[in-house]
Amino acid sequence: MKYTLSVIKSFASAHCLREYKGKCENMHGHNWKVRAAFCGTELDKTGMLMDFTDIKAHLDNIMLYLDHKFLNEIPPFNGINPTAENIASYIFNELKKTETDTAKVCEVEVWESETSSATVTAIGCL
């Protein structure tokens, strides 16, 4: 059996897309929504894959770094384009540092609007 836990958080930030031909090359802001999912097959003695409180705390730390910033000025986005795809990848990689033996990051989805999102999924996710 596979278990998946998801937590949704949000942050607000500005960015501009380098080498993009269109209005998004200009500085603009988003109220980003992020869904992070951890997967696994084994529950601990309390019957949990991972404590939601821990997932929220890890995600809160990442959101704090990104919130109310001009993303183009902070690492790694001072070197790579702050696209929804790259933001999702950044959050995914940061959350990987918090994995346990039994709970692995399996997906991060980032919405830049109510209708547009980018998703990063672990290859070979359980």
Where residue 124 falls among pLDDT bands split at 50, 70, 90? confident
DSSP H or E run through 60: helix 52-66
> What's the pLDDT tens digit per position in 33-62?
999 999 999 999 999 999 999 999 999 999
Q: Does residue 68 carry a catalytic annotation?
A: yes
From the candidates 24, 25, 28, 125, give the one annotated as an active-site residue: 24
5-38 per-residue burial string, b: 16 or more CB within 10 A, e: under 16: bebebebebebbbeeeeeeeeeeeebebbbbbbb
11: pLDDT strictly greater than 90: yes
pLDDT at residue 125, as a whole number: 67
CA distance 27 to 1: 46
- Structural domains in the chain, CATH included, are 3-121 (3.30.479.10)
pLDDT at residue 37, as a whole number: 98
Q: Does residue 30 carry a catalytic annotation?
A: no
Closest of 96, 105, 99 to residue 124, by C-alpha: 105
Residue 100 identity: T
> What's the pLDDT tens digit per position in 62-100?
999 999 999 999 999 999 999 999 999 999 999 999 999
From the candidates 25, 28, 68, 73, give the one annotated as an active-site residue: 68
Q: Does residue 24 carry a catalytic annotation?
A: yes
